[in-house]
Amino acid sequence: MSLIELIRRHIKTSPHTFVLLALLSGVSNVLVMTLITTSAGVEQAALDLRTITMFGLVIGIYIVSQRGLMRITATEVESMIHDLRMALVENISHAELLSLERVGRSEILTGMIRDTQTISQASNILVIAVQSIIMIALSMVYVFLINKIAFVLSLSFIAFSMLLILRHMIALRAELNTVYEEENHLYDGLRDVLEGFKEVKMSPPRRIDILAEIDIAATRARDVKIAFQGRAAQEFVLSQTMSFLLLGIIVFIAPMFFSVEAGAAARTAAAMLFIIGPLAMVTQAIPIFATANAAADNLSQLEHLLQSLVSTIPGMIERPLPATFEAIHFDTVSFTYVDNKAVDMFTVGPFNFSIRQGETLFITGGNGSGKSTLVKLLVGLYYPEKGVIRIDQQALSAETYSSYRSKFSVIFSDYYLFKRLYGLNAPSPEIIDELCLLLEILGKVRLKDANRFDTIDLSTGQRKRLALLVTLLEDKPIIVLDEWAADQDPHFRRKFYQELLPHLKALGKTIIAITHDDRYFDTADRCIALEEGRITSDISKKPLQ
């Protein structure tokens, strides 16, 4: 029972409070039924003020207890979902890049959005169902007191119908998992269309194939959902039919074989009419509970998966590195990509080189040469499989990697531009204007609310300049630029190499740029060329000053 376990782990309100409110609500329902059934045959003049007052009091108790129960449920469930989402986000933030790349974004997003919404939407219905169970149980006690034969018949019918429905719902649990799997495939296809829109637009055969794949996943999910909802509808109709049959047996059949007082039969029938509504609610709640339970199970699996990706060692104390450094050294560093079956796919390295503080280093090489992997090793997003990275004479360790990464500002080739300046103090308008003028985007973008850009809807080259503006605001000692100049127009590309890089170097920055602009190689202190995961040349162009 994943949902129950999830609630038990996160609930903050005492279970006794829930039980008390549910009991008060259920008892008040039964008392309303009792007052109505016992007073229905009484002469109007015989109804005294005490009965009417009791009826109003019972309704008041129901209103207070029901509102309290629903309010507490909403608070607890939404707080639980908030805690779950924040725990998942926290685990993601502490995971390693390579591990997260293997999980897939669709599974994470569907868990955090779809499954949490499923639990949220089901919460009140499930609480009402629990309350309905209490009311049914109390109503059956009332039936037992007035008509034991009707009690036996009713209990038998209810037990039989519930067992039948539960058996069918258990069989549908596997189909729910299939629905979720197909929806994940559907989200993958939708993400392909949105994130690869340009590529889809450029190739009609690709568009046709993607749409066909999405249609297959959507059709499978639709068919399984239709089957699930159809079964649920059948069970609801079955429970209603069983209730009507039960009423017919109590009113028409039972008096033919058993001696039943006329008044008792009427009160029993009235009580059964009160039970039909709660019984229908319980029947409707069973598929909802199955769906919410499957969602909770998925969330639990996702939580465990993300926890397994967390790189932080329990009890580990992160240690800072010195603020300044002279060089970063790669000592026989290598890294191997493996597939899902742990089979080696591609190895880069071993690398043996150093990067001096204040150096402007260009990294070149063709596609698949290992440039991006080298950069991820350099900035600490990938860990070396073999060898060691040292900053000056200190070898990096788990305790120092966070401090090491904080020395880098990186604009990756597939960078993400945040609209808000996260992690930065609000800069003055004068500084923003100065940087915008330097990067030739003055008037294109401005800050509002001190730390949020009014727009990031810019051209590709301008977006990269805005990303560089954020990098300059971070003011970190090492700047890494992955094919940054590739999307700039000829004028600004020339300005980047001949003005911006010397400007950054004059500020004391260490610059590492992946580039193919060989006409500007003379602006670097040094060029490293890669081929098939190996350094094929390491040429110093000019000495450090």
What is the pLDDT at residue 45? 46
Q: Would you say residue 506 lies in a domain?
A: yes
- CA 364 vs CA 113, 415, 515: distances in Å: 41, 19, 6
**Distance from C-alpha of 420 to C-alpha of 456, rounded to nearest angstrom:** 10
Three-class SS state of 362: strand
Strand spans (E) along 126-269: none
Give, in order, the Cα–Cα distances in Å from 107 to each of 93, 103, 152, 181. 16, 7, 49, 9
- What pLDDT, on the 0 to 100 scale, is given for residue 356? 92
36 is a domain residue: yes
Give Cα 421 to chain centroid, integer Å: 23
pLDDT at 241: 76
Burial 340-369 (b: 16+ CB within 10 A, else e): eeeeeeebbbbbeeebebbbbbbbbbeeeb
CA quadruple 251, 252, 258, 261: dihedral, nearest 10: 40
466 and 336 share one domain: yes
- CA-to-CA dists, residue 228 to 120, 198, 202, 262, angstroms: 20, 37, 39, 43
Copy the structure tokens of residue 434: 């100065």
Same domain, 229 and 331: no
Structural domain contains residue 389: yes
* Whether residue 331 is found in the same domain as residue 246: no
* Same domain, residue pair 393 and 300: no
The token duo for 32 is: 């309303």
Which of 283, 309, 335 is at the close of a domain? 309
351 occurs within a structural domain: yes
Whose tokens are 């630029």? That residue is 481
CA–CA dist 286, 478 (Å, integer): 58
The reply to whether 12 and 49 lie within a common domain is yes
Phi/psi at 391 (5° precision): -110, 110
Beta partners for residue 17, in sequence order: none
Total residues found in the chain within this entry: 545
Q: Are residues 217 and 136 in the same domain?
A: yes
Nearest to 464 by CA among 448, 449, 446, 483: 483
R_g (Cα) of the chain, nearest Å: 34
> Do residues 101 and 24 share a domain?
yes
CB 7 within 8 A of CB 127: no
What stretches in the chain show pLDDT beneath 50?
43-46, 314-315, 544-545
In the numeric block, which tokens belong to residue 357? 């503080």
Q: Say if residues 250 and 265 touch (Cβ distance below 8 Å).
A: yes
What is the secondary structure of 51-69 as a DSSP string?
Answer: HHHHHHHHHHHHHHHHHHH
316 is a domain residue: no
216 plus 248 within the same structural domain? yes
319 in a structural domain: no
The whole-model pTM stands at 0.66
The whole-angstrom separation of Cα 344 and Cα 494 is 41
**Which of 309, 336, 370 marks a domain boundary?**
309
Contact yes or no for 172/287 (Cβ under 8 A): yes
In this structure, which amino acid lies at residue 369?
A: S
How many domains are there within the chain?
Answer: 2
Check which CATH number belongs to the domain holding 384 and give it: 3.40.50.300
Cβ-Cβ contacts under 8 Å for 393 (sequence gap 6 or more):
none
Contacts of 382 (CB under 8 A, 6+ apart): 97, 98, 335, 373, 376
3-state SS of 67-91?
A: HHHHHHHHHHHHHHHHHHHHHHHHH
Rounded-to-integer distance, Cα 265 and Cα 146, Å: 8
In this prediction, residue 362 carries a pLDDT of: 92
Give residue for tokens 């045959």: 41
Residue given tokens 């994943």 in the structure block:
2
Residue 104 pLDDT: 65
Residue 125: give the domain boundaries. Answer: 2-309
Handedness of CA 97, 99, 104, 110 (dihedral sign): negative
Judge if the upstream peptide bond of residue 350 is cis by omega within 30 degrees of 0. yes
Residue 339 and residue 327: Cα distance in Å, rounded?
Answer: 34
Domain-terminating residue out of 309, 341, 356: 309
Sign of the C-alpha dihedral computed for residues 177, 182, 186 and 187 taken in this order: positive
Residue 322 lies inside a defined structural domain of this protein:
no
Give dist(CA 391, CA 408) in Å, integer.
13
Q: 256 and 344, same structural domain?
A: no
Looking at residue 456, its pLDDT comes to: 83
276 plus 370 within the same structural domain = no
Q: Does 318 reside within a domain? A: no
- Residue whose token pair is 């109007």: 44
Supply the angle between the helices 204-248 and 262-309 in degrees, to the nearest 10.
150
Q: Are residues 361 and 287 in the same domain?
A: no
Tokens representing 33 are: 């039924």
At 397 the three-state DSSP class reads: coil
Which CATH number is 166's domain given?
A: 1.20.1560.10
Domain co-membership, 517 together with 463? yes
